[in-house]
Amino acid sequence: MSPDLWPARLHHLRRDSPQPERLAHFYGELLGDRVEALPDGSWLVAGRHRRLVVGKGAAGAVPYFALEMQDAAHLTAFRKGILKSEDFTSSLFVDGAYALTDPDGRRVVFGLSKEYNSSDGMPARLQHFVCATQRLPQMVEFYCGLGMAESDRVLEGEALSAVFLRSDPEHHSFAAFRAPESRPDHHCYETNGWLDIRDWADRMAKLRIPLWWGPGRHGPGNNLFFMIEDPDGHKVEFSAELELMPKGMPHRTWPHEQRTLNLWGSAWMRS
């Protein structure tokens, strides 16, 4: 039986760069969020329902992403149901956080949020993280083994080319695409509606950051979206109207074609 992850939400992730201060200030300007130095030399970019840790490391890397559990009882009970967790210290989580390492070598962290002061910035809650992987079947087995529920899968013939997994009623908090190399793919901010997408796109115009893909509507998740690139080429998505799925709802299947990833037009195909 799977451990009971439900409900858990993406709380923060770490993006690495050879020039972390520069990248932190890019995100601070992008989102209108405060940027502060953390004691371990990394940087925190924090705003309205969103937090990003920027550390020194390989360009484009996401060494971990962190899920927030419901309460202390949930955090403790979940740890008993999984194997090989290790203690994890985070400036953003209270003591008691822990982590597992997935088949691609990325850590997934579980914890409880410290109190923090969110500002009154534009609405965009950090909502999902997506990776590309050479080991999609192993990744699906690993994350489903943690209790994530499969919402949608994409098939090319018999072969799995993408899978979308949820840890609460939101369609996915994590997804993985089959690709020739394992790497981070994008992270996403969920807004309150289509007019927020307009406002964020207008903000991109003001900042002279061109939209990289979209606006469009994804098949899996049915959400409206656009993406931009950060200075390392990592993609950042703004989304609205992400589908909600109850806990026991079975997954659906989509064909491996452009229309699946963008009902409105052309798509970014990872394989």
209 by Cβ neighbours in 10 Å (0-12 / 13-18 / 19+) ranks as middle
- For residue 68, the minimal CB distance to Fe ion (Å) is 19
- For residue 237, the minimal CB distance to Fe ion (Å) is 5
DSSP state at residue 226: E
Residue closest to Fe ion (Cβ): 188
Phi, psi of 230 (to 5 degrees): -85, 175
Site for Fe ion in 172-231 (CB under 5 A): 188
Is residue 111 within 8 A of residue 93, CB to CB? The reply is yes
User: Cβ closer to Fe ion: 8 or 35?
Assistant: 8
Task: Please spell the DSSP secondary structure of 24-58, one letter per residue.
Answer: HHHHHHHHT-EEEE-TTS-EEEEETTEEEEEEESS
- For residue 107, the minimal CB distance to Fe ion (Å) is 20
Site for Fe ion in 148-167 (CB under 5 A): none
Q: Which of residues 33, 185, 230, 237 is near Fe ion by CB under 5 A?
A: 237
Give how many residues touch Fe ion by CB under 5 A.
Answer: 2
User: Cβ closer to Fe ion: 52 or 188?
Assistant: 188
- For residue 42, the minimal CB distance to Fe ion (Å) is 24
User: Cβ closer to Fe ion: 74 or 172?
Assistant: 172
Q: Half-sphere exposure of 149 toward its Cβ, with a 13 Å CA cutoff?
A: 21
Q: Which residues bind Fe ion (CB under 5 A)?
A: 188, 237
